[in-house]
Structure 1
C-alpha cells in the first residue's frame, strides 16, 4: 500500500520534474510554480475542511453522546431490583437536632421503666441520633399521613418486652398527631404491665388499634410430663404455636420478635426444657430449639395467615451491651460506638433470616441487629424504675425503637418500593 502511494505521488509531480530534467537537476518551471501554488492552496482548503469536519464530529460526540461504557454489575440485596429501592439496614447513625420526635413524659402509654430522662438521666445526647442508610434516606416521619393510612386497620405486635417497647414507641409517635388525647385509650381499661398478655390501644378518631401480645417464645408453654427428670420444671412445645396465636390472624399489620429468652440463663437455670411430639428433648441446644420453634411459626404463617391481607414482619435480635457474660455489669456510653466488635451478628438473627427466606409467602425481615450494635449509649442502664438492677438490653424511650417504627412506616406507606432485606 505504501509503494502504491509513492507511485501515485510521483505520478502527480512527474510533469514538473520532466521539464527541469535537462538542466541536470529537477527544477520547477514557471507554469509548474503556478500549478504548485494552486495545488498548495488546494491542500490548505482540503486540510481546513478536514479539520472542520473533525471538530464537528467531536462536537457531535460531546453534545450527543453514544451508549455509555459498560458498568460492572454487582449483587444487590434480595428484593432490591430498581434504583428506587435501597437497603435500610446498611448505614450509620448521624446527629440530628430534630430528634426526639416526642416527649415520653407526655405519652401516657410509655412505661416509666423506659423513660430514662424521667428516671434521672442527665445527658440527652442519646436522643439526637438518626439512622442514615448508605444509598438513600428514610422518609421523614409525617404523623398525619400515617394516621390517615392506618385508618380502620389493626396493628399487632407479638413477642417479648422489646416488642412491647416498640409497641409503646409507635403509640407515642402516633399520639403526637392527635389533638384529643382522651380519644386514645386502652380498650379494657388496663394499665401497661409486664404481666398482662394482651394490651390494645384504640385510636378512636381514626378507628384503628395498636395491640401487643406477650409471647416471648412464640410456641406453647407446657406442663411437666410424667417421669421427667427433677430438674424439669416446665416445658416448651416446640411443635405447637402459642395458644393465643388465633388472636393474631385477623390483623392488617403483624410484627413478630423473639430471641432474648432463648438462652440457658433464662431457660435451663429456671428448669425450662423442650418437648416435641409429646416427648422430652433434653439434649437439644437453645439455638437448635429456636430453629425448630421458628419452623413451627413458619408453617403457621403459610397455612393460617392470609398474606394478601396481612403484612407480616419479623424483627431480628436486638444487640445488647453487657460488660460481662453474667449480665451483671452494664456500661452505658455517652456516644454511639465507633467499633461494634461483632455485635452486628447474632445466631438468632441468622436463623430468622434463613427461615423467612424459605417461606412460600411474603414476610419481611426488619434486620435491626447491625444498627442497634452501635447504640451502647441508648440503653436503660440504671435509669429505670428499678435503678438497683442495671439494664443493657432494653432501650430508653424516646430512642432506638422509634427508628424501627420509622422504617416500618416507610416500608408500609412509601410511594416507592423499598427493600428491607
Structure 2
C-alpha cells in the first residue's frame, strides 16, 4: 500500500480506516487497488453509442470503417478482491468539476483518453451545449452549462524540442510549456512511445542533457531523464494544493502475439476478446518501474497520482483500430473510444482518486479546530507523536463526531480493530518524510 503521509499522526486511525477499508463498505473501497483485476462481460455496456459521438476522429472510428464484431464494447474492468470501480456517471462528473479546467498533456494516447472522456460526457448529457476549438494538434472543449473546460495539449515527450543551428534538439532538462499547464485544476500526463522512435519518425536530430549535446543516447535513459525533469517541474512549479496531477502509466501495443501466448500472430487484426485472467504472459515493460521510481523520488510526497493502467491495457489485445480506420493501416497502438479499457478506466480512476484526495483534505479541514490540541491516543506514545493532554478540547468534541463520505464513490467503512490488526505491518511517515513511526505504530496496535 506504500507510504502514507499525514500531517498529524493523531489522525492516523481515520486515514488507515479509509485506506484499509472493511467488509461493510459498499461501492468503491478506498483501500482497493483499482489496477489489479480482469475484464468481464457486462451486458449493460457500452455507456454510450460511439457512432453518435461528435468527437471521434476518423482514424479511430472503427465501426464506420467496417468492424462488425462489437463484443469488445461490452467488457468492464473488474478490480480484484471484491473491489468495485464505480460506474462512470457523466452528469455527476460535470457537476463535480463545475467551473474547473482539465488538461490532458501527452501524445496521441492522451488524445484517446481525451476523446473518450468527451464521448462519455456527451453520452450522459447529449443536450448539453458545448463549444469546440481546434488549433493544430491542440483542442479545447467547453461544456457551457457546467463551465467545465477540457483541453488536449499535444506534447509527445513532455520536455522541449527546439530548432537550433545544428538541427532539432531534444532538451531533456527543459520544460517551457509548464507555465501554461500549471494554471489548470486537473492535469493528466502521459509519455513514452515517442522516445522509442527512430528515423524517419524520430522528432529530433540531437539530444541535450546535463549541458552535453549528443547525437543519440539510450532511449530508456532518455525517458528517465525527461521524466525526472517533469517530476522536478511538478515539485517546484505546481501548487498541488490547487492543481491535482495524474500520470498515466505506459500504454502497450499488440503487434507480437508471443507477448500474449500466440507466437504465430503478428498483429491485432483478428483479436476479438481480451486476454483471459489477470496476468499478461510477457510481463510488464521496464519503463513501468522507471515511472514508479521517479514518482517515489519526488520531494513532494503524493504530489502525483499514478494511473497504473499498463497491465489492464496489455490484456486488451482486442481494443485497437487495427485496419478499421480512415487510413486502412494496421494500428495496434492506439485505442478505440467506446472500448471500456484504457481510456474509460483511466477516466473512472481519475474520478475515484480525485474523490479520495478531496475527501481526505476535507476531513483535515473540518477537524482543523481540534488537531492543534488533540488528546493522546495511547498513554505510551512519544510526546513528539501526539499532543499532550493539557489543553485538550472537551471530551464531547473528541468522541461524538463521525466522518460522513458524500462522494458518489462509496461510504467510509466503520473502524474494525480486528481487521486492522490482521493487516501487514505498514511503515508510517510524518509529513516531513523523515520520521518513521512504524515501530510505535506496531507496538501500540498489538496491545
TM over 0.5: yes
Q: Name the TM-score, length of structure 2 as normaliser.
A: 0.68
Instruction: From the superposition, tell whether residues 297 and 179 of structure 1 become closer, same or farther in structure 2 (CA, over 3 Å).
Output: same
Structure 2 Cα separation of the partners of residues 251 and 407 of structure 1:
19
Deviation digits for residues 167-199 of structure 1, max 9, x if unmatched? 010011111232434x1121x3x3xxxx82421
For the pair shown, the structure with the greater C-alpha radius of gyration is 1
- 2:55 equivalent to 1:109: yes
Instruction: From the superposition, tell whether residues 221 and 412 of structure 1 become closer, same or farther in structure 2 (CA, over 3 Å).
Output: same
> Which ranges of structure 2 fall in alignment gaps of 5 or more residues?
5-15, 22-28, 259-264, 356-408, 414-447
Q: Name the TM-score, length of structure 1 as normaliser.
A: 0.72
Q: SS state of the match for residue 354, structure 2? A: helix
Structure-2 residue corresponding to 1:406:
348
Structure-1 residue corresponding to 2:313:
372
Deviation digits for residues 217-244 of structure 1, max 9, x if unmatched? 0011022554xxxxxx522000001x32
Structure-1 residue corresponding to 2:285:
346
- 2:278 equivalent to 1:313: no
Structure 2 Cα separation of the partners of residues 164 and 293 of structure 1:
20
Structure 2 Cα separation of the partners of residues 277 and 307 of structure 1:
27
What is the Cα deviation at residue 335 of structure 1?
1.0
Deviation digits for residues 313-348 of structure 1, max 9, x if unmatched? 0001111111389x9844441111237654441222
Aligned pair count reads 327
Structure-2 residue corresponding to 1:397:
337
- 1:328·1:390 contact (CA, 8 Å) conserved in 2? no
Structure-2 residue corresponding to 1:357:
296
- 2:174·2:229 contact (CA, 8 Å) conserved in 1? yes
- 2:115 equivalent to 1:168: yes
- 2:151 equivalent to 1:211: yes
Structure-2 residue corresponding to 1:152:
99
1:169-188 equivalence runs, <5 A: 169-181=116-128, 183-186=129-132, 188=133
- 1:197·1:215 contact (CA, 8 Å) conserved in 2? no
Structure-2 residue corresponding to 1:249:
182
- 2:184·2:243 contact (CA, 8 Å) conserved in 1? yes
Deviation digits for residues 372-403 of structure 1, max 9, x if unmatched? 1111111110011111x100101111112112
Deviation digits for residues 25-69 of structure 1, max 9, x if unmatched? xxxxxxxxxxxxxxxxxxxxxxxxxxxxxxxxxxxxxxxxxxxxx
What is the Cα deviation at residue 78 of structure 1?
4.9
CA RMSD of aligned residues (A): 2.5
Deviates more, 1:368-377 or 1:263-272: 263-272
Deviates more, 1:106-115 or 1:367-376: 106-115
Q: SS state of the match for residue 109, structure 2? A: helix
Structure-2 residue corresponding to 1:140:
87
Q: SS state of the match for residue 375, structure 1? A: coil
Structure-2 residue corresponding to 1:273:
206
Higher relative contact order (CA 8 A, sep 6+): 2
Instruction: From the superposition, tell whether residues 332 and 278 of structure 1 become closer, same or farther in structure 2 (CA, over 3 Å).
Output: farther
- 1:322·1:331 contact (CA, 8 Å) conserved in 2? no
